[in-house]
Amino acid sequence: MSSQRRVLIDTDTASDDAVALIMALRSAEVDVKAITVAAGNVPVDQATSNALYTTELCGSNVPVFRGAAKPLLRTLQIADWFHGKDGLGDHGYAPASYKVEQEHAVSAIGRTIAANPGIEIITLGPLTNLAAAILQQPGIVDSVSRCVVMGGAPCCEGNVTPAAEFNIWVDPEAAHIVFQSGLPIEMVGWQLSRGAAAINHGDVARMLNLDTPFAEFAIRCNSSAEQAFYEQTGEKGICLPDPIAMAVLLQPKLCLESSEHHVKIETTSELTRGMTVVDRLGVAPDQRNRHIWSSSLASRKVRVCWRLDVAGWKAALMTALR
Ligand code: BDR
Ligand code: CA
């Protein structure tokens, strides 16, 4: 029997998602059973086409499934201003010859988890597909050994609003369902990809020196994202939240500091829509707060990653692009 860990990837494939897919598809550690796609950064057809392009680039035969075209209850809000209209920096990549599977992503998630007890999941986009799969088959949560979520801005500012990070903000109702579901969630927030974790000029030079199609694509398809990140934060470099989450999935030790907390997703306020509210001091069960937190107190705590091994993450990326 294979010693590889089995993984399912849910993604709204744009530029940083594509790099995360390369990391997983080129890793000997994991056997990717399915890539499921939801609308998010770009509409779902474009995201699916980007996932197919990336699997073809890697010569992988992992099946790709198209899923939700919009959030559970809300209008879709995309981030093409960040990733480019095609999500890959608008360099005119030709469509892949690989074809999408006929089965819907939500059904593929349920079937793949049921067939692979102990499977690990990683979500790189809005949580629409996973929430829908849980609503259809609540029992699947017991078969998942880890669920790494790239999403949220724990105890800090977000990238879409002062309160919220994109993946959670796009579909907060889906995030609420997933965070309450009992899945063993490991939250890798957007803030971990900022500052020293962003890919700087020296890193880019080292990657391009590898002279592989993977390194060239990873850098090039993030050109628009690099510019948008600078305009958004004033920080230089390529910010790669999805590949960082993937690095943590592949090598859990890259998360240097984490702790478990109740986490609640804001779904009603306009001001703080999609906020990932972390009960960091454990005050939620207090009499004053209990009525607000009661449903969350009953559900499993979320492991929040606070600190990343930056050198380790960059080394993992280099290895993947070799
Ligand atoms: C997340 O939003 C998207 O723009 C990225 O692909 C990543 O999943 C970061 O907030
Ligand atoms: Ca993403």
For 152: left if phi > 0, alpha if psi spans -120 to 50, otherwise beta; the answer is left
Q: Tens digits of per-residue pLDDT, 223-262?
A: 999 999 999 999 999 999 999 999 999 999 999 999 999 9
Which ligand 1 atom is the nearest neighbour of the CA of 166? 10
Q: How far is the CA of 17 from the centre of ligand 2 (A)?
A: 5
Q: How far is the CA of 41 from the centre of ligand 2 (A)?
A: 7
Cβ 120 vs Cβ 145: under 8 Å: yes
Which ligand 1 atom is the nearest neighbour of the CA of 245? 8
d(CA 68, CA 130): 10
Lateral strand order in the sheet of 30-37: 64-66, 30-37, 5-11, 119-123, 144-150, 185-188, 302-308, 255-261
Q: What is the DSSP letter of 300?
A: P
Task: Please state the domain extents for the chain.
Answer: 5-321
d(CA 245, CA 255): 10
Q: How far is the CA of 43 from the centre of ligand 2 (A)?
A: 12
Taking the CA of 170 as reference, the closest ligand is 1
Q: What is the pLDDT of residue 2?
A: 78
Residue nearest to atom 4 of ligand 1 (CA): 41
Residue 28 CB contacts under 8 Å (≥ 6 apart), including other chains: 4
Q: Average of pLDDT values for 66-71? A: 98
Cβ 122 vs Cβ 187: under 8 Å: no
- Dihedral of the CA atoms 181, 186, 190, 193 (nearest 10)? -160
d(CA 82, CA 216): 19
Q: Average of pLDDT values for 149-168? A: 98
Which residues' Cβ are closer than 6 Å to ligand 1? 14, 16-17, 41, 79, 82, 124-125, 150, 159, 165-167, 190, 241-242
pTM: 0.98
Nearest to 124 by CA among 165, 158, 157, 162: 165
Strands (DSSP E) contained in 172-297 are 185-188, 255-261, 263-265, 276-278
Q: How far is the CA of 124 from the centre of ligand 1 (A)?
A: 7
Q: How far is the CA of 55 from the centre of ligand 1 (A)?
A: 19
Taking the CA of 151 as reference, the closest ligand is 1
DSSP for 118-146 reads: TEEEEE-S-SHHHHHHHHH-GGGGGGEEE
Architecture of domain 5-321: Alpha-Beta Complex (3.90)
d(CA 215, CA 29): 20
Q: Tens digits of per-residue pLDDT, 115-143?
A: 999 999 999 999 999 999 999 999 999 99
Q: Are strands 185-188 and 302-308 parallel, antiparallel or unpaired?
A: parallel
Which ligand 1 atom is the nearest neighbour of the CA of 83? 4
β-pair partners for 201:
none
Which ligand 1 atom is the nearest neighbour of the CA of 160? 10
Q: Average of pLDDT values for 87-111? A: 98
Q: What's the pLDDT band for 3 if we cut at 50, 70, 90?
A: confident
Q: What is the pLDDT of residue 1?
A: 61
Q: Tens digits of per-residue pLDDT, 37-62?
A: 999 999 999 999 999 999 999 999 99
Taking the CA of 12 as reference, the closest ligand is 2
Give the C-alpha distances (Å, rounded to integers) separating 62 from 34, 55, 85, 90, 112.
Answer: 6, 7, 26, 25, 12
Which ligand 1 atom is the nearest neighbour of the CA of 40? 3
Q: How far is the CA of 283 from the centre of ligand 2 (A)?
A: 32
Taking the CA of 240 as reference, the closest ligand is 1
- Residue count (the chain): 322
**Sign, CA torsion 38/146/253/164:** positive
Residue nearest to atom 10 of ligand 1 (CA): 166
Q: What's the pLDDT band for 213 if we cut at 50, 70, 90?
A: very high
Q: How far is the CA of 81 from the centre of ligand 2 (A)?
A: 14
First-residue to last-residue Cα distance in the chain: 28
Q: Tens digits of per-residue pLDDT, 300-318?
A: 999 999 999 999 999 999 9
